[in-house]
A and B are shown apart, each in its own frame.
Chain A
Amino acid sequence: MNPNKTRKIPSFFHLVGAVWYRHYRVYQNHFFTNSFPTVIEPLILMLSFGWGLAMAVGSMDGVDYLSFIAPGQAMMAAVYTSAFEESYGTYFRMMVDHNYDAMLSTPINVTEVFWGELLYTGTKGAFFSLVVVLVLSCFGIIHSFWGLLVPVVGFFTAIAFGSLGLFAARLVKNINQFNFFITGVVSPLILFSGTFFSIDKMPPYAAVIAKVLPLYFFIDVSRMLTTGRFNSDLYIALPYILIVPMVMGHFAVKAMYKKMIQ
């Protein structure tokens, strides 16, 4: 329309932000429906465990059982929202709604699209883990104001699991194969990362494996925050939870590049 006008290309951060904003605006209508299970699920778990298992177990690692599993509930919310968003969600945006084609017709490239997505899924993870912490604090099982920092951990947890979701989206041939991802990858990670029992109860080699896999340290740090009992693990855990999600994100975005640009 105005052939001589040249428009400046927005910066990388602007474009990542624009993708984040797109997801926020488009999906906010579903926010309530999506957040409902995230809030309800830990409540149900608390009730069932509180009535049943917690009585039998008594305490774990020096805290009462419900306080022990509380931080894991917040992380589970971040894990599920991000793992689903970046596997099924990505698949739909890619194969059904063709949203990526629309975004990629602008100065946005694959890298900005998927970093914007991971940032969005991180935000969701932070928000949902905050909601869970607030809900659980009503049960008196969040013992420290440090617990308010759990959403920060939730943000990084969501980026890690969002990246796993992207790898799954990169690999699947059809949508049913995501079952392998959820049942074969996400669920075991939740069960064996110190969510419901201390990994000290596992054989030593298994405990080492559990520590390396991407959930243990997120729960470990969250637990320090909700109980207010910090230990020397923090020196390893803190760099781990900040760096590992970024590295995973980097490779996930690269994998998606190969899928998108053919």
Chain B
Amino acid sequence: MSNDHLIEARQIVKNYDDFRAVDGVDFAVKPGECFGFLGPNGAGKSTLMKMIYCFSPRGGGELSIFGLDPDKSPAEIKNRMGVVAQTDNLDEDVTVTQNLQIYGGFFGIERTELNAKIKELLAFMALEAKADSGIRELSGGMKRRLVIARALLNEPDLIILDEPTTGLDPQVRHLIWAKLRELKAQGVTILLTTHYMEEAHELCDRLLVLDKGKVLAMGKPEELVKNSLPAYVLELPASQKDQITLSGSLQIELHGDKLFLFAAAPSELEKVAVQFKGQFRIRTTGLEDLFLKLTGRDLHESE
């Protein structure tokens, strides 16, 4: 590898006809890191992902993965990568094990090695009992786990997940997070997109907040929040706007039908909260608040 970064992107651009989906994005991912793309629908997350897993040639800029150019060496890159796409693209007409056998063939994994690997991965993803089941018999959560198991067949150095837990129940989601953390502990680099703040917080060492194809912020989740927002927030219905008396040091944001009052210390917010007899609670600021501040909820709700 030519540098210490597993992925390095400089000023990458992607145009679809007149629409600029990715507009000069810079970032770098270190080996062993879990890096997240965070952004509203249509922010350019998936497009960025597609360029990294060699589905979509970039429109400009420089991109290197494992020190290789995806335009020139897609097979070499994909050989060391595991991809979990947004939709479960399993082969519905064959069993769980057969799905993995077929996919393993795409990497040229030798049969005995492959069968051992399949056993190991089914156990890892808690799917042993389903080894001979048809895909249609699986629940949504099981399918997702199988797609992740499939992406691990080639023992990838980098695993890419596009919205890994969208549409899954909280239990499955926590199971998948636990598995991803295990992988990370084994040294696998993880790149994921999400629009769940909780997921970003649980998994990602660093985040890139993206909107309209541009980078809005990048860094560690806690630091991003700390650097951009006061530590405490009070959420009120927007209809109460005229009934509150505000002290000068409060930061105010309006998103949809909610009014957000930010302050560095809870005491400043308590003065407002007492007016509502404790009906609304003061809490610490989080990624969700940052996300709303950066991307602006109103705009995207109307889309």
Interface residues of A (CB under 8 A from B): 1-3, 5-10, 14-15, 18-19, 21-22, 25-27, 29-30, 97-99, 101-109, 260-262
Contacts and interface: CB of A to CB of B under 8 A. Distances in A.
Nearest to A106: B106
Category for how many chain B residues contact A? 35 or more
Given A7-B155, A9-B75, A14-B108, A102 B93 contact: no
A104 B55 contact: yes
Given A22-B105, A101-B85, A105-B78, A5 B155 contact: yes
A143 to B, nearest CB: 40
Interface string B137-168: 00000000000001110111100000000000
Given A98-B85, A101-B89, 11 more contacts: A1-B186, A3-B157, A8-B108, A10-B107, A18-B105, A22-B102, A98-B89, A103-B106, A106-B79, A107-B107, A107-B108
A93 B108 CA distance: 22
Contacts, number: 107
A29 B155 contact: no
Interface in B46-105: 53-57, 74-76, 78-83, 85, 87, 89-94, 98, 102-103, 105
A94 to B, nearest CB: 11
B47 to A, nearest CB: 10
Contacts of A1: 152, 155-156, 183, 186-188
B44 to A, nearest CB: 15
A109 B75 contact: yes
A116 B79 CA distance: 19
A8 B82 CA distance: 15
B31 interface: yes
Contact of B83 (A15, A105, A260): A105
A101 B75 CA distance: 14
Nearest to A22: B102
Contacts of A29: 93-94
A195 B93 CA distance: 36
Given A9-B75, A22-B91, A26-B94, A106 B107 contact: yes
A239 to B, nearest CB: 33
Contacts of A99: 89, 91
